[in-house]
Chain A
Amino acid sequence: MKGMSVIVKKVAQLLSAMIFVFGMYIAIHGHIMPGGGFTGGVLLASSFIVLVLAQGLEYFKLKQQRERTSLVESLSVLLILLLGFSGLFAGSMVFFGNYLPKGQPGELLSAGNIPIYSILIGIKVAATLFTIFLALTIYKEEVST
């Protein structure tokens, strides 16, 4: 996959940073607004996808970096499971228990464990979708040559 013209590359660089920040905003505010982990994760993945589509595959040396997205994905699943297991030893002793202090409803720091799960699932969805996209493009190029 080759890169595009200079104008497209510059606009993609400027735009992808804004998409990234907006994705993080959506993922963090999931418990008080519409949005949440899934949406934020897909937005984070699409900010990377825009860059790759504009610059081409050779620019980033993505073939070496494909292993790292799998690593991030597995680590986030592991963290979600550990956080769920920690509910067995604290608070009301249930799996996935919500034992942190609840706070004032409507504030950013409220709702106990829910924002942490939201951020973790956002990282996980972003890593999974980016892995799938990279696999589809890289291996397609590899076979056709």
Chain B
Amino acid sequence: MTLYILCFILFLTGLYGLLISRNIIKIVISLTIVEISIFLMLILIGYISGGIAPVIFQQEVPQHQAVVDPLPQTMVLTAIVIALATNSMILAMAIRLYKKYGTFDIHEINKLKG
């Protein structure tokens, strides 16, 4: 139970960074922290103590042998690659903003607009 709560505190740290930071690079880093906490939460729920990893070097899974749930692992495997893609998309937008306004600061960009 403490592990779930610590994981949620990591999520809240990322959310705090999203609300407090003014630099675009810092916003990307906070978004990454939120994503990491969600991946860890999903895998923590699927863990079975005493289970083996879902890679089996035999012909058949023995019955009554506990195996860690492969379904959350599949979902997280997909989500990691998508997180990489979205991060690079935001960074591309950051490059264009830097070329146009000369700064990464959102408040400065708001002032310079128009």
User: Per a CB cutoff under 8 Å, which of A38, A125, A136 touches B95?
Assistant: A136
Answer whether A143 and B99 are a contact pair too, CB < 8 Å, given A34-B55, A106-B59, A136-B88: yes
B5 within 8 Å of A (CB atoms): no
A139–B57 Cα gap in the complex (Å)?
A: 47
Query: Interface size on A (CB < 8 Å)?
Result: 15
User: Given A136-B88, A136-B91, A136-B95, are A125 and B59 neighbors across the interface (CB < 8 Å)?
Assistant: no
Whole-angstrom distance between the Cβ of B86 and the nearest chain A Cβ:
11
**Cα distance A140–B92 when bound, in Å?**
10
Contacts of A129 in B (CB 8 A): 84
Residues on A with C-beta less than 8 A from B80 are: 38
A105–B59 contact, CB under 8 A? yes
Q: How far is the CA of A106 from the CA of B58 in the complex (A)?
A: 7
Contact residue among A33, A38, A128, A139 (Cβ-Cβ distance under 8 Å from B55): A33
In the assembled complex, the Cα of A105 lies from the Cα of B56 at a distance in Å of: 10
A114-145 to B contact mask, C-beta < 8 Å, 1/0: 00000000000100110010011001100110
Q: Which positions 72-96 of chain B face chain A at CB distance < 8 Å? A: 77, 80-81, 84-85, 88, 91-92, 95
What residues on A are CB-neighbors of B59 within 8 Å?
A: 105-106
Closest residue to A36 on the B side, CB-wise?
A: B77
B60 to chain A: which residues have CB within 8 Å? Answer: 105
A91 to B80, CA, bound (A): 33
A38 with B81: CB separation less than 8 A: yes
Q: How far is the CA of A43 from the CA of B48 in the complex (A)?
A: 31
Minimum distance in angstroms from B80 CB to a CB of chain A: 8
Counting from the closest, the 8 A-B pairs by CB-CB distance are A132-B88, A143-B99, A38-B81, A105-B59, A34-B55, A140-B95, A136-B92, A38-B77
